[in-house]
Amino acid sequence: MLLDIARLFLFPALMAFAAASDLFTMTISNRVSILLVAGFALLAAFSGMGFQEFAWHIAAGLTVLVVAFACFAFGWIGGGDAKVAAAAALWFGFSHLLGYLVFASVFGGVLTLLMLQFRRWPLPYVLVSQKWLLRLHDKESGIPYGIALAIGALMIYPETDWVKAVDLARFAIH
């Protein structure tokens, strides 16, 4: 039962935290990525994931890490975004990676357009005291892409073996 609870809530909670952190601080702590990697490793071990499947998940995470850090080097995304994207890819493996990247890209594009529009409007006076909102409204600041990464991940996660392995009948109220 504890394993099922971890499968259902660990990854989504960490991704939601990454999104909220990026929204309010424009940073994603390394701890989030570390917890995602550690959580994957523990759940993979306790779920009985075979070595070959584990290796393919590692390869997916490393592939995204290399591409994401190239994007970081060009200034297209933040370092926290790169690490969280790679950690999420670790959970998805190659079987759900394309879907995740498509969702994250689409939501990232929508988020970027919304942020550009938001930054064109003057911030109402009653909101000027909110430092996080001022940072978000600043035309010189980046896009909190962790939000798009989290939404994309949460769209794909229910389709993964992590969720499909959960016996939801255990959670039914009789």
Report whether 93 contacts 56 (CB < 8 A).
Answer: yes
Number of domains in the chain: 1
Report whether 135 contacts 115 (CB < 8 A).
Answer: no
Q: What tokens were used for 151?
A: 């939404």
Write out pLDDT tens, residues 46-71: 999 999 999 999 999 999 999 999 99
Q: Which domain holds residue 44?
A: 2-171
Count, residues in the chain = 174
Write out pLDDT tens, residues 57-108: 999 999 999 999 999 999 989 999 999 999 999 999 999 999 999 999 999 9
